[in-house]
Amino acid sequence: MEKEIISDFPGFRALELNDKETLQPYFRQLQPEISDRCFTNLFIWQEFYDIQIGQFKGNICLFSNNNTTPEKEFFFPPLGQSNVLETLDDCFDFMSYRDIQPIIRRASEKFVQTHLNNQNRYVAKEDLNISDYIYRAEDMINLRGRRYNGQRNFIKRFKQNYSNHSTEFLNRENIPECIRFNDEWLESKLLTLSRKLDIYSDPPPDAVVFLKAEVETAKKILLNFEKLDLTGLAVRIGGGIRAFTVGQRLNNRTALIHIEKSDHNYLGLSQFLSQIFCEQAWADCEYINRMEDLGIESLRKAKLSLGPHHMAKKYNISLRQPD
């Protein structure tokens, strides 16, 4: 009997905050290493990717439905442990039916090893641009050794130049000020970009689109901070918030840093923010996940300079082509 083709979005709808309760047990069981297996990350990027949620054969399926570029139309690996290969078949049939290039993106190495080793229908290819950088928490806190000379010097200069700084954990009282600073940070970045390109062109440059999306995700995190069970830290200088960061536990051993925003007019502030957040919030963790570099050379260089302990690899899964 021929398999019934899945029609246009049967049972799919936009991912929403209330889905956290449904998805959290899956993530707790997974103990994920990659940032994509985290409800907060999916939720804050929902609008940018138009992430939809549905269920195939008892597994949770998440679909990026943004058709602006082929890279934004894909399934995430299904959540669940039963009938996984059959669920993959359904996902690929769904995409083929909609004339979308069939692909699963952002699969963890564990998923590939667990589900794709003993089959010949699918092939997995590592995507270096989206693999996560994993650091030892001890290194990020103590900054020992020659590798971290630059980091230590920036932090020392910051403390010397701005002795009137203070830190505080995020809460409902200071979050509104963080939101205002987030908007101010965007205006500053757009002003810098305007010196290099036309930020008002139609369509807008990719750099502008992604910058605005990044700021919107930060705002979404702040507006839903308590409901997402997050931890954050702000740095005040002269009474005003000039930097903030937000993270959470990704698994029993690892903290995930979602966002860091700092005023670059204060030399050493960004380095201080990164170090003090790890020290004050994540000293009991073994690792810190600082996410991917997106193939941006300057970002890759900066992340590599911090000496990652290892990379959490991610893979794209596609149909195996005949020889």
Tokens of 84: 């996984």
CA–CA dist 180, 58 (Å, integer): 43
Rounded to the nearest 5 degrees, what angle is found at the Cα of 49, between the Cα atoms of 44 and 52? 90
Task: Name, in order, each residue with C-beta under 8 angstroms of 70's C-beta and a sequence gap of 6 or more.
Answer: 100, 101
Question: Per-residue pLDDT averaged across 223-233, rounded?
Answer: 98
Q: How confident is residue 11, by pLDDT bands cut at 50, 70 and 90? A: low
pLDDT computed for residue 218 by the predictor:
98
Is it the case that residue 137 has pLDDT exceeding 70?
A: yes
Domains and CATH numbers, the chain: 13-131+315-319 (3.40.630.30), 133-291 (3.40.630.30)
In 10 A of CB 117, how many CB atoms? 8
Summarize pLDDT for 172-183 with one digit per residue, the tens. 999 999 999 999
Q: Are 174 and 184 in contact (CB under 8 A)?
A: no
* Mean pLDDT over each residue of the chain, to the nearest integer: 93
Handedness of CA 218, 219, 225, 227 (dihedral sign): negative
**pLDDT over 70, % of the chain:** 96
Question: Per-residue pLDDT averaged across 100-119, rounded?
Answer: 94
More confident residue, 278 or 203: 278
Phi and psi angles of residue 138, each rounded to the nearest 5 degrees, phi first: -60, -40
Tokens of 2: 């021929």
Pick from 107, 141, 128: nearest CA to 299 = 128
Is it the case that residue 232 has pLDDT exceeding 50?
A: yes
Residue 88's alpha-carbon distances to 37, 55, 74, 83, 102, in angstroms, are 17, 12, 12, 9, 10
Is it the case that residue 8 has pLDDT exceeding 90?
A: no
Cα of first residue to Cα of last residue in the chain, in angstroms, is 28
141-173 residues labelled b (16+ CB within 10 A) or e (exposed): bebeeeebeebbebbeebeeebeebeeeebeee
Q: Lowest-pLDDT range, 172-186, 198-212, 220-234?
A: 198-212
Q: Lowest-pLDDT range, 5-14, 225-234, 251-260?
A: 5-14
Is it the case that residue 186 has pLDDT exceeding 50?
A: yes
Tell me the sheet residues that pair with 288. Answer: 135, 255
Tokens of 3: 């398999």
259-263 CB contacts, 8 Å cutoff, 24+ apart: 259/217, 259/218, 259/221, 261/181, 261/182, 261/185, 261/218, 262/235, 263/181, 263/185, 263/188
Summarize pLDDT for 65-92 with one digit per residue, the tens. 988 776 789 999 999 988 899 999 999 9
